[in-house]
């Protein structure tokens, strides 16, 4: 894998004290979305330097500034200064939207042991051919190959290569379209606390898992937040569940697992070890689309908290095999249900999207069964009519005889 020349050269000269200082975004994101990690570098200024955000001096004196999981609160002008000379401002603008593609981790957690790797899945709406993926390790970017599974989906082999953490994302050639970013972290311990891979949005449900390398059976796990044990009622053996997450749930979490390798031997010894601490940060995410159905059976998509630039909608259909397809012709807020399956929608905005709605599962009526039911009902109705007519006729005859 080949590092970007521009990033390598930039990193090599960061500590040089040549000319006016300049602030660069090392990750080279064309657009910054809520939840991204940002790495800024001060070129042309030897340490120690002075960083300012919106003219407020920061405690960081290094040539690198990392801003984790950005929100609009991080918006503003970033400058660095050395020997009284200050750089031009770098303006950070965070979009509270979802990016154009989804990078996900279908199997495994975001914390891995040394030498392990993960397979990431890239899902796009158009042809995958124009998309490339990247890794960001030790402040240097690397291009990664994408293995194509079908027209809209591919996989990426993600490894740390002896670094403690690395970030992965994908971009479409000659556009500002990109995917979300995923960060993998390394641990050298047998016990691992697995935090969510993606940023945690406010009001979501979070599940933290205490795992053990090698597939050991976790007999019992204790979870701690900022070194204080959490409510045991929310712990189910190796999992800790947080519902309706808020910023009050932010902090450093760890777990202590009691486990044994029972799949190797029924007489395996029991061990107890502790995980590395992992930071959990809950932030306000993009607005969520809402999917409803009217009295005519049509699906309607809306986004109450979307901005005015969100003027159209995107619809997706998932069949029984699990294949997701974008309904290219549908851009309005309403569609008619024709084919059975699962439907989701999102609002399309100028530089991104709202979050997806919850899915609506549609089961197309079986007309064969409907016809059969109609025939049975018609037969019952006919029988009732015959019986009523017979009874009326019999009553009339009896009445005539009495006279």
For residue 156, tell me if it sits in a domain.
yes
Q: Which pLDDT score, from 0 to 100, does residue 114 have?
A: 86
For residue 135, tell me if it sits in a domain.
yes
Answer yes or no: do 108 and 175 share one domain. yes
Answer yes or no: do 272 and 245 share one domain. yes
Q: How far is it, in rounded angstroms, from Cα 303 to Cα 345?
A: 10
For residue 377, tell me if it sits in a domain.
no
Single out the residue in 95, 111, 136 at which a domain terminates.
Answer: 95
Q: Do β-strands 271-274 and 278-280 pair in parallel, antiparallel, or remain unpaired?
A: unpaired
Answer yes or no: do 308 and 357 share one domain. yes
Dihedral over Cα of 281, 282, 286, 288: its sign: positive
Answer yes or no: do 245 and 193 share one domain. yes
Answer yes or no: do 320 and 247 share one domain. no
Q: Which pLDDT score, from 0 to 100, does residue 8 have?
A: 47
Answer yes or no: do 114 and 163 share one domain. yes
> Which residue is associated with the tokens 């989804």?
102
For residue 234, tell me if it sits in a domain.
yes
For residue 403, tell me if it sits in a domain.
no
Answer yes or no: do 37 and 82 share one domain. yes
Answer yes or no: do 79 and 104 share one domain. no
Q: Which pLDDT score, from 0 to 100, does residue 312 have?
A: 93
Nearest CA among 346, 282, 348, 342 for reference residue 317: 342
Q: Within 13 A of 205's CA, how many CA atoms are on the CB side?
A: 6
Q: How far is it, in rounded angstroms, from Cα 186 to Cα 136?
A: 14
Q: How far is it, in rounded angstroms, from Cα 387 to Cα 60?
A: 93
Answer yes or no: do 154 and 211 share one domain. no
pLDDT by residue for the chain (403 residues), tens only, comes to 445 444 444 444 444 445 789 999 999 999 999 999 999 999 987 888 999 999 999 999 999 999 999 999 999 999 999 888 999 999 999 999 999 999 999 888 899 998 899 999 999 988 898 999 999 999 999 999 999 998 889 999 999 988 999 999 999 999 999 999 999 999 999 999 998 887 899 999 999 999 999 889 999 999 999 999 998 888 989 999 999 999 999 999 999 999 999 888 888 899 999 999 999 999 999 999 999 988 888 899 999 989 888 989 999 998 888 788 888 878 889 998 878 889 999 999 989 999 999 999 988 765 444 545 555 566 677 767 666 666 666 565 555 554 4
Q: Which pLDDT score, from 0 to 100, does residue 15 have?
A: 44
For residue 324, tell me if it sits in a domain.
yes
Single out the residue in 255, 283, 311 at which a domain terminates.
Answer: 283
Is the distance from CB of 20 to CB of 79 less than 8 angstroms? no
For residue 398, tell me if it sits in a domain.
no
Answer yes or no: do 275 and 194 share one domain. yes
The total number of structural domains in the chain stands at: 4
Q: Which pLDDT score, from 0 to 100, does residue 182 have?
A: 95
Per-residue pLDDT of 229-239, as tens digits, reads 998 888 989 99
Answer yes or no: do 159 and 180 share one domain. yes
Answer yes or no: do 19 and 90 share one domain. yes
For residue 77, tell me if it sits in a domain.
yes
Is the distance from CB of 199 to CB of 35 less than 8 angstroms? yes
Domain membership of residue 301 as a residue range: 290-362
Whichever domain contains 130, its CATH number is 2.60.40.10
Q: How far is it, in rounded angstroms, from Cα 72 to Cα 50?
A: 23
The residues, ordered by sequence, that sit 6+ positions from 118 with a Cβ below 8 Å of its Cβ are 105, 107, 108, 112, 158, 159, 184
Single out the residue in 131, 154, 188 at which a domain terminates.
Answer: 188
Nearest CA among 76, 64, 60, 53 for reference residue 25: 64
């Amino acid at each position: 894998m080949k590092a970007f020349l521009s990033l390598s050269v930039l990193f090599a000269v960061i500590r040089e004290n040549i000319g006016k200082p300049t602030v660069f975004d090392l990750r080279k994101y064309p657009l910054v979305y809520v939840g991204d990690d940002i790495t800024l570098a001060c070129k042309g200024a030897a340490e120690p330097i002075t960083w300012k955000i919106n003219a407020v001096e920061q405690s960081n004196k290094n040539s690198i500034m990392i801003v984790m999981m950005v929100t609009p609160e991080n918006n503003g002008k970033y400058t660095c200064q050395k020997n009284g000379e200050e750089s031009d401002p770098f303006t950070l603008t965070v979009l509270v939207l979802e990016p154009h593609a989804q990078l996900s981790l279908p199997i495994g957690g975001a914390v891995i042991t040394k030498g392990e790797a993960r397979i990431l899945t890239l899902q796009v709406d158009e042809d995958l051919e124009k998309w490339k993926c990247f890794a960001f390790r030790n402040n240097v970017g690397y291009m990664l190959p994408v293995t194509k599974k079908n027209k809209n989906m591919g996989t990426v082999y993600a490894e740390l290569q002896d670094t403690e953490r690395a970030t992965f994302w994908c971009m479409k050639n000659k556009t500002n379209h990109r995917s979300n970013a995923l960060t993998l972290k390394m641990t050298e311990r047998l016990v691992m606390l697995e935090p969510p891979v993606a940023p945690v949005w406010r009001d979501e449900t979070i599940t933290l898992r205490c795992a053990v390398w090698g597939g050991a059976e976790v007999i019992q796990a204790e979870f701690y937040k900022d070194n204080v044990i959490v409510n045991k009622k929310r712990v189910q053996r190796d999992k800790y569940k947080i519902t309706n997450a808020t910023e009050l749930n932010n902090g450093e979490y760890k777990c202590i697992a009691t486990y044994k390798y029972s799949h190797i031997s029924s007489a395996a010894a029991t061990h107890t070890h502790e995980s590395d601490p992992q930071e959990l940060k809950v932030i306000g995410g993009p607005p969520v689309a809402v999917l409803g159905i009217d009295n005519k059976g049509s699906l309607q998509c809306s986004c109450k908290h979307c901005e005015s630039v969100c003027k159209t909608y995107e619809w997706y259909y998932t069949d029984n095999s699990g294949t997701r397809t974008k309904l290219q012709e549908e851009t309005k807020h309403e569609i008619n249900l024709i084919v059975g399956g699962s439907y989701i929608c999102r609002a399309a905005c100028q530089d991104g999207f709202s979050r997806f709605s919850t899915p609506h599962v549609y089961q197309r009526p079986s007309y064969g069964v409907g016809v059969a039911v109609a025939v049975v009902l018609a037969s019952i109705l006919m029988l009732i009519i015959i019986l009523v007519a017979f009874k009326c006729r019999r009553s009339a005859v009896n009445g005539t005889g009495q006279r």
